[in-house]
Structure formats: structure tokens, C-alpha cells
């Protein structure tokens, strides 16, 4: 007779923890869930998949047109009529992925409470579905951005090859923070209310619509503690100024991403047994 | 060797003064919860391969929590649980398929086919594997061209068909069904049970949670009764369903007050005759009594007690369809009356009149004219009838009236929907009454 396993072990075998192996076992589900998200989003629309590129294109085009007319050439160190529009678009592109991952992560478990309470499946697959959807959305946005940049006469050069690394760092930070807050939000629901407000603040404390040098020195020391500053400026370096990102910024971001992911993963593991009880 | 072992299993829901204390506990702090509620405690049982187990109990008894722990959705707070391989030489653990709710994870914008595929993937199956099984899923769902239409155009029943077909596309080693089949029509349910029976023939074990005791009796080899999170019975379905009905409608608690003046010894009540000697009101103490009864009338008579007897069993928890059943009730008359009329009425739970009769209608078994009573008289009336009904629960009403014509009866006392009885039937038919059809086939077969 085989020995009895402890209850905790049984749960792990059932696929709740053991993140990577269970994620691999459910790869078809995750793939299907990503596909179905887009299918459901585009169902019953005549243009279907065309909207996937049309929506971000419209967004970027509005920024570019409006800003190049009203706020042309007010950025230090940048020449050209469309420079501000290009600068802003790069910042928005970086911010959108971070914001997307964070907001979806925070409500991830609450949104899928019913499924989590009724079906035994690895919860990590919900998270990976969100990652997949966010990355595809981000890719569509990137295509739109490049298209608009081209129209404005600012074809990106070889420095754009830095982008995959920056997206990966952005992903690590957004995902880590999103998962961390998402787990806590199951138990402390106020988090879901606070996050959007804090995000708004952070947006304005990050040099997206302004340049870092435009801030008064006092404010510059304040934003020094904003971990998104190196992320956004790296994006801007690559996409706007056609230069390599600061090595120090990359190091900071890498450490931050690793730290957040490790913390989130640990919290997720420890909270897992009690998560269903609180949903 | 058993497929599933559950040892001393318990589940506690803990509350903290502040949620951060819970969070701190994950990182080594030791805040004690301000409130601890055990929804399950000391659960022990074994389940053998191919065995079918019913779990019954009132709402909140812990049935669903137990199923969720076995399925691996909810973590137990104490105890052990083990799922073995049905095949001893195989190191692979048994596979569980649980239907706690049909249609989980369905998206209304997607087609039945897409949803079926996704549901099977949610159970961890590979896409190619599921795709190969899709024709069979479509055949079982049997909804024709709707299978490739968006789910929002479906009826509830059609969704249930697709869901069940997808969840049971591959034979599990343990199938868990929680009340889920009640959404479909009888046809669909029969089809589901057919598939479950086919699985069981191949060695699948079944755990069934339901409030329909007839399902437990028909489909289960064994049953567990849960009460307030404790396991209070592990026995044959017939025995467990009796205990469950006791839980539901109260025990046949013997009246303990003032037994000394009572000429009838209480202990002998199960074998005693139900006669006119007993003057106590015992109606509300009998098994099957419903305190939601509607009691009304002009007064002048009190229905003191009743007894239902079928196949030598008094107050049976379950009456086999077609059994000659006696419905007896004892009446105390407060004033004399030249003609009283006892009556009996059988209804379904949703209020359909199945059968009603009174002494003016019932001719056989009794001779003589009107039933006259004097002041203070006690009478026992016994209706006997074969209970040729379909399986299910039925409400029994008793009444006593004065008068000699059905149209002008004065109700003295009526106790409507006062008792619930359960009829079981191994081979169900459609409808309520068994009209006992026979069948002949003309014309010799070609062979």
C-alpha cells in the first residue's frame, strides 16, 4: 500500500502550486484562453481583426495630430515639428503595457472567482492568459506606433532592437506588481480601489508628457524614487533619441523585476490554500 | 485497494481581526484567528474503484466543501486524502472529473464547439486529443447545427448538453457530480446517467451529491450522511436516505411528557395498533410531518394523529411505487354529528392534485350508511390504496367534515399538505400515475 500523502501535498499534486509544470501541462488551455479573449472581443464586429490594429492606430494618431498642432517643439533637446508627439507616443507605449498588466493583475482572481471556486485548474494559467493578451495588445500598439512614426518621418533605427529587452523588463515589473497586489486584493479589497488612484498619480510623476529636465530640481529628486523613470526614459532613449539605454537604468530595472517577481511568487504560493476561502 | 482514502479530514474557515494578520502569518507570524468555523471535521471514508457513493445532508451540512476538497479546489485544514491509481501496477494517479456546475468557463460569444474544446482544455487535455473527440462530443450533445452557433443563442438545456458532453468526453477514474444534472430535462438526465453507468461498467467510481433521494437509491451502492460537518452515517442508500428524511422532517421523537398517565406504553408504539384509545395529539411528532401544513376548519373535531404503513413498515421513509399503503388518522370529536366524512388528498410538491377521496366516494371496504359520532367520541379512519405513482415526493392532506353530500360538506378540521411521503420507483415512466400499460407486438420478425 502506498503511503498516505499529506493534505498539502495532495493539493500541490492537484495542480494548484507547482507553477511551471502545471502551466506547461495547461499550455493548450492558456493558448485557447488567449485566442478566445480576442474572438469574444471581436465577435459580431464586421471588421473583426482589423480593429486590433485600427484601435491603437486611432489612439496614437490622435496624440500625434493634436499634440503636433498645439504643443509643437516645446521639448528641450528635440528638433522638428512632430518631436513632442513622438516623445509622448513612446512614453505612452511603455506606460500602456505596465498599466495594463497592473490593472488586470489586481482584479485577476476576483474576476475569475466563480471559475476558481468551481474548477480545479492551475491558477497560474489565468495570469499567463493575461500576459499573452497584454503582449499581443502591446504588439498591435507597437505596429501602430511605428506606422505613425513613419508618417511623421521618424523611422526608428537599429536601436529599436533594444525593445524586446525593455518589454521583458516592463513585463516583469508590471506582472510582479500586479500579481502581488492581485493576491492581496483577494483578502484586502481596498487595494482594488486604491490602485487606480495611485496609477493616476504615478502617471504624472513619470516623465511621459514632459521631459525630466523640465522639472524643478526639487521635483527631480522626488521622481528619483519612482522606479518607472528609468523604464520610461529607456523606452524614450531607444524610440525617440535613437541611442542605447543607460546601463545603470537597465540594471536597476532588472533587479526590480527580479525582486517583484520573486516576492509575488512567494506570496502567491503561501496565499494559495486560503485564496478560495476568501473569494 | 481503495481508489480514494479520506482520513480525519477537516476544513476550518478562519477570520482575523484584520486581514494583514493573515498575510503576516504566511511569513511566519503567529496571529491567532478571532473566529474559527469548522465546516467539516473528522471525515473518514474509503471509496473503491467502480463504487458509487452518494453524499446526502441538509443545506450547509458540508457536502460541497467535501467535494471541493476531494477535487483539489479547496485546501483541507487538517487530515489526509489520497487518490491512488485504479491500476495497481500504474504509478499514474487516478484522474478526477468534477461537475460542480455545468458550463463553467463558457463564453456566450463563442460557439458550442469552441466552448467544448476550451472546457476540455480547462481540464488539462491536449488540444489534438480533444479535437479528435469533438465529433463524439457533438454527437452526445445532439443539438445539430447549433453546435457551431454562438452559445448566446442556446437554451439552458442546450448549454447543459454541451457542457456535460465536454466534461465527460474522456472517462475519468472518479466522477464527481454535484446536483449539476438537475438543470436538464428528464431525457437529458437519463442520457447522462446512461453515460455514467457506462463509465462505471469500465471501472469509474462515482460520487453523487443530490437532494433527490430516488437518485441516490437508484444510482448509488453506498451513501454518506453529513450533518453539521460531521459524518453521521456510512451505510446502504436505503438506510441513509431514511436517516436523511429524519434530519429533514424531524425524528419520530416519542412524546416523553406525562407518559405515566398514558395507557399506551411508548416503547411499544412501533408495533402497537393504531386505535382509538390514544387521546394525545401526536400528529406533529410523526416522521414526515411538515410544520408548514395548512390547518383550518370550522372546529368541532381535532385530527390527533396519523400513521402511514406500507409493506409492514410504519412511517416508511420510502414507499416502493405500487405498494398497498395505509393512511390512517385518529380524530377526536368535540360534539355529536349525524354524518361525518373523512377525506384524504395526495398532491405533488408543486401542488398538482394526484388523487383525492372521501368516505362518500370510497365505496368498497365499508358497508353501512353515514358515520355518526357522539360527543367526545374518537374514531380512527384508514384509507388503503396502492400507491401506483411515479418516483418522487408527495404531500398528504387529511380532513374531517360534517354533512352527507360532497357539495355541502362543512369542514371540521383539515390538515392540508401536512405530511410528505417519498415514493421510489426503479423504472420511472413519464407523468404521475402508473396506468399499468401492457404492450403487444404484432407481426413476426423478418428473421
Q: Percentage of chain B surpassing pLDDT 90?
A: 14
The DSSP letter of residue A58 is H
Taking the CA of residue A177 and the nearest CA in chain B, the distance in Å comes to 16
Please give the residue that has the higher pLDDT: either B208 or B445: B208
Confidence at A175, pLDDT banded by 50, 70, 90: very high
Chain B stretch 130-169, residues whose beta carbon is closer than 8 A to a beta carbon of chain A: 130, 150
Q: Is the pLDDT of residue B350 over 80?
A: no
- Mean pLDDT to the nearest integer, B162-179: 88
**Residue A150: count of CB within 10 angstroms of its CB:** 11
Q: Is the pLDDT of residue A107 over 80?
A: yes
pTM of the complete model: 0.69
- Where does residue B447 rank: exposed (0-12), middle (13-18), buried (19+ CB within 10 A)? exposed
Q: Is the pLDDT of residue B253 over 50?
A: no
Q: Is the pLDDT of residue A167 over 90?
A: yes
Q: Is the pLDDT of residue B183 over 70?
A: no
- Mean pLDDT to the nearest integer, B111-129: 87
Q: Is the pLDDT of residue B125 over 90?
A: no
User: Which pLDDT belongs to residue B34?
Assistant: 78
Q: What is the tens place of the pLDDT at every residue in A205-241?
A: 888 877 777 778 877 777 777 888 889 989 988 888 8
**Residue A170: count of CB within 10 angstroms of its CB:** 27
Q: What is the tens place of the pLDDT at every residue in B383-434?
A: 999 999 998 889 899 999 988 877 788 888 888 889 999 998 888 888 889 9
- Mean pLDDT to the nearest integer, B250-261: 37
Q: How far apart are CA B389 and CA B428, in angstroms?
A: 9
Distances, alpha carbon B336 to alpha carbons B286, B301, B332, B344, B372, in Å: 28, 10, 11, 22, 8
For each of the domains in chain B, give its residue range(s) and CATH number, in order of start.
4-246 (3.40.50.300), 250-424 (2.70.50.60)
User: Which pLDDT belongs to residue B254?
Assistant: 34
Q: Do A10 and B105 touch (CB under 8 A)?
A: no
Q: Does B1 touch chain A (CB under 8 A)?
A: yes
User: Which pLDDT belongs to residue B250?
Assistant: 52
Q: Percentage of chain B surpassing pLDDT 70?
A: 89
Question: Sheet of B96-99: strands edge to edge?
Answer: B96-99, B174-178, B205-209, B52-56, B222-227, B230-235
Q: Is the pLDDT of residue B5 over 50?
A: yes
Mean pLDDT of all residues in chain A?
82
Q: Do A270 and B26 touch (CB under 8 A)?
A: yes
B338 phi, psi to nearest 5 deg: -75, -30
Q: What is the tens place of the pLDDT at every residue in A255-264?
A: 999 999 989 9
Confidence at A18, pLDDT banded by 50, 70, 90: low
A223 near A208, Cβ under 8 Å?
Answer: no
Cα atoms in the Cβ-side hemisphere of radius 13 Å centred on B319: 30
Q: What residues of B are in contact with residue A188 (Cβ under 8 Å)?
A: 19-20, 23
Q: What is the tens place of the pLDDT at every residue in B71-104?
A: 888 888 888 888 887 776 666 677 888 888 887 8
Q: Which of B14, B45, B72, B107 to mutate to test the interface with A (most CBs of A within 10 A)?
A: B72
Q: Is the pLDDT of residue B270 over 70?
A: no
Task: Tell me the residues of A at the B interface, defined by beta carbons under 8 Å apart.
Answer: 1-2, 4-8, 10-11, 13-16, 25-26, 28-29, 31-33, 36, 39-40, 43-44, 114-121, 184, 187-188, 267, 270-274, 276-277
| Helix A27-42 / helix A124-151 crossing angle, nearest 10 deg | 50
Q: What residues of B are in contact with residue A5 (Cβ under 8 Å)?
A: 80-82
For residue B379, give every residue at least 6 positions away whose Cβ sits within 8 Å of its Cβ, in sequence order, or none.
B276, B330, B331, B333, B340, B342, B371, B373
Q: What residues of A are in contact with residue B121 (Cβ under 8 Å)?
A: 26, 28-29, 32
Q: How far apart are CA A137 and CA A140, in angstroms?
A: 5
- Minimum mean pLDDT among A5-19, A102-116, B357-371: which range? A5-19
User: Which pLDDT belongs to residue B364?
Assistant: 65
Chain B stretch 272-291, residues whose beta carbon is closer than 8 A to a beta carbon of chain A: none
Please give the residue that has the higher pLDDT: either B429 or A74: B429
Identity of the residue in A5, A13, A276 whose CB atom sits nearest the CB atom of B73? A276
Tell me, what's the ipTM? 0.78
B304 near B354, Cβ under 8 Å?
Answer: no
Q: Is the pLDDT of residue B438 over 70?
A: yes
A64 near A82, Cβ under 8 Å?
Answer: yes
User: Which pLDDT belongs to residue A48?
Assistant: 67
Q: Is the pLDDT of residue B50 over 50?
A: yes
- Mean pLDDT to the nearest integer, B364-376: 77
B168 phi, psi to nearest 5 deg: -105, 25
Q: Do B93 and A29 touch (CB under 8 A)?
A: no
- Minimum mean pLDDT among A27-41, B269-283, B305-319: which range? B269-283
User: Which pLDDT belongs to residue B60?
Assistant: 83
What are the residues facing B13 on neighbouring strands?
Answer: B37
Amino acid at each position: 500500500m502506498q503511503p498516505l500523502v499529506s493534505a498539502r501535498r495532495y493539493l500541490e499534486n492537484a495542480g494548484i502550486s507547482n507553477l511551471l509544470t502545471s502551466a506547461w501541462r495547461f499550455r493548450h488551455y492558456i493558448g485557447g484562453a488567449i485566442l478566445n479573449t480576442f474572438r469574444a472581443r471581436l465577435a459580431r464586429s464586421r471588421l473583426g481583426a482589423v480593429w486590433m490594429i485600427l484601435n491603437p492606430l486611432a489612439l496614437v494618431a490622435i496624440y500625434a495630430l493634436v499634440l503636433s498642432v498645439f504643443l509643437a517643439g516645446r521639448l528641450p533637446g528635440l528638433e522638428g515639428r512632430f518631436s513632442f508627439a513622438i516623445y509622448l507616443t513612446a512614453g505612452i507605449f511603455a506606460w500602456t503595457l505596465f498599466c495594463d498588466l497592473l490593472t488586470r493583475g489586481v482584479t485577476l482572481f476576483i474576476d475569475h472567482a466563480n471559475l476558481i471556486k468551481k474548477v480545479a485548474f492551475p491558477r497560474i494559467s489565468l495570469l499567463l492568459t493575461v500576459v499573452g493578451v497584454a503582449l499581443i495588445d502591446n504588439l498591435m500598439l507597437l505596429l501602430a506606433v511605428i506606422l505613425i512614426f513613419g508618417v511623421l518621418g521618424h523611422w526608428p533605427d537599429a536601436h529599436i532592437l533594444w525593445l524586446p529587452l525593455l518589454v521583458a523588463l516592463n513585463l516583469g515589473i508590471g506582472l510582479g506588481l500586479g500579481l502581488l497586489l492581485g493576491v492581496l486584493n483577494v483578502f484586502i479589497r481596498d487595494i482594488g480601489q486604491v490602485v487606480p488612484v495611485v496609477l493616476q498619480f504615478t502617471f504624472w510623476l513619470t516623465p511621459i508628457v514632459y521631459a525630466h529636465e523640465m522639472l524643478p530640481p526639487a521635483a527631480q529628486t522626488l521622481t528619483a524614487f519612482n522606479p518607472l523613470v528609468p523604464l520610461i526614459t529607456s523606452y524614450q532613449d531607444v524610440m525617440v533619441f535613437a541611442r542605447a539605454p543607460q546601463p545603470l537604468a537597465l540594471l536597476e530595472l532588472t533587479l526590480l523585476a527580479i525582486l517583484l517577481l520573486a516576492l509575488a511568487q512567494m506570496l502567491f504560493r503561501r496565499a494559495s490554500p486560503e485564496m478560495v476561502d476568501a473569494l | 485497494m481503495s481508489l480514494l482514502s479520506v482520513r480525519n479530514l477537516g476544513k476550518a474557515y478562519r477570520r482575523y481581526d484584520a486581514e494583514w494578520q493573515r498575510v503576516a502569518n504566511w511569513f511566519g507570524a503567529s496571529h491567532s484567528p478571532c473566529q474559527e468555523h469548522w465546516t467539516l471535521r473528522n471525515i473518514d471514508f474509503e471509496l473503491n474503484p467502480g463504487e458509487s457513493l452518494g453524499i446526502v445532508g441538509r443545506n450547509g451540512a458540508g457536502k460541497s466543501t467535501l467535494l471541493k476538497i476531494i477535487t483539489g479546489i479547496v485546501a483541507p485544514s487538517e487530515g489526509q486524502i489520497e487518490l491512488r491509481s485504479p491500476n495497481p501496477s500504474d504509478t499514474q494517479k487516478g484522474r478526477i472529473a468534477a461537475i460542480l456546475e455545468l458550463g463553467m468557463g463558457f463564453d456566450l460569444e463563442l460557439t458550442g464547439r469552441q466552448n467544448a474544446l476550451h472546457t476540455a482544455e480547462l481540464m488539462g487535455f491536449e488540444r489534438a486529443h480533444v479535437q479528435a473527440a469533438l465529433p463524439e462530443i457533438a454527437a452526445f450533445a445532439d443539438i445539430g447545427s447549433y453546435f457551431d452557433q454562438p452559445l448566446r443563442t442556446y437554451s439552458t438545456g442546450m448549454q447543459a448538453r454541451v457542457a456535460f458532453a465536454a466534461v465527460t468526453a474522456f472517462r475519468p477514474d472518479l466522477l464527481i457530480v454535484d446536483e449539476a444534472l438537475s438543470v436538464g430535462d428528464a431525457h437529458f438526465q437519463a442520457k447522462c446517467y446512461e453515460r455514467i453507468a457506462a463509465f462505471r461498467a469500465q471501472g469509474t467510481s462515482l460520487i453523487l451529491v443530490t437532494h433527490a433521494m430516488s437518485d441516490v437509491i437508484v444510482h448509488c451502492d453506498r451513501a454518506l450522511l453529513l450533518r453539521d460537518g460531521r459524518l453521521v452515517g456510512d451505510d446502504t442508500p436505503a438506510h441513509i436516505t431514511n436517516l436523511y428524511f429524519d434530519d429533514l422532517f424531524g425524528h419520530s421523537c416519542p412524546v416523553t411528557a406525562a407518559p405515566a398517565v398514558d395507557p399506551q406504553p411508548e416503547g411499544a408504539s412501533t408495533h402497537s395498533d393504531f386505535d382509538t384509545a390514544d387521546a394525545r395529539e401526536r400528529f406533529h411528532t410523526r416522521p414526515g410531518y411538515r410544520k408548514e401544513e395548512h390547518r383550518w376548519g370550522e372546529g368541532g373535531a381535532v385530527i390527533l394523529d396519523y400513521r402511514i404503513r406500507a409493506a409492514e413498515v410504519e412511517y416508511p421513509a420510502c414507499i416502493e411505487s405500487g405498494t398497498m399503503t395505509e393512511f390512517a388518522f385518529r380524530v377526536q370529536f368535540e360534539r355529536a354529528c349525524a354524518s361525518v366524512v373523512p377525506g384524504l388528498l395526495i398532491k405533488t410538491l408543486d401542488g398538482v392534485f394526484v388523487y383525492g377521496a372521501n368516505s362518500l366516494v370510497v365505496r368498497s371496504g365499508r358497508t353501512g350508511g353515514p358515520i355518526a359520532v357522539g360527543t367526545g367520541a374518537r374514531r380512527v379512519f384508514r384509507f388503503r390504496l396502492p400507491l401506483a405513482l411515479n418516483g418522487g415526493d408527495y404531500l398528504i392532506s387529511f380532513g374531517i367534515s360534517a354533512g352527507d353530500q360532497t357539495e355541502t360538506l362543512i369542514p371540521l378540521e383539515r390538515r392540508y399538505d401536512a405530511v410528505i411521503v417519498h415514493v421510489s420507483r426503479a423504472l420511472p415512466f413519464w407523468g404521475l400515475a402508473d396506468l399499468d400499460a401492457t404492450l403487444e407486438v404484432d407481426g413476426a420478425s423478418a428473421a
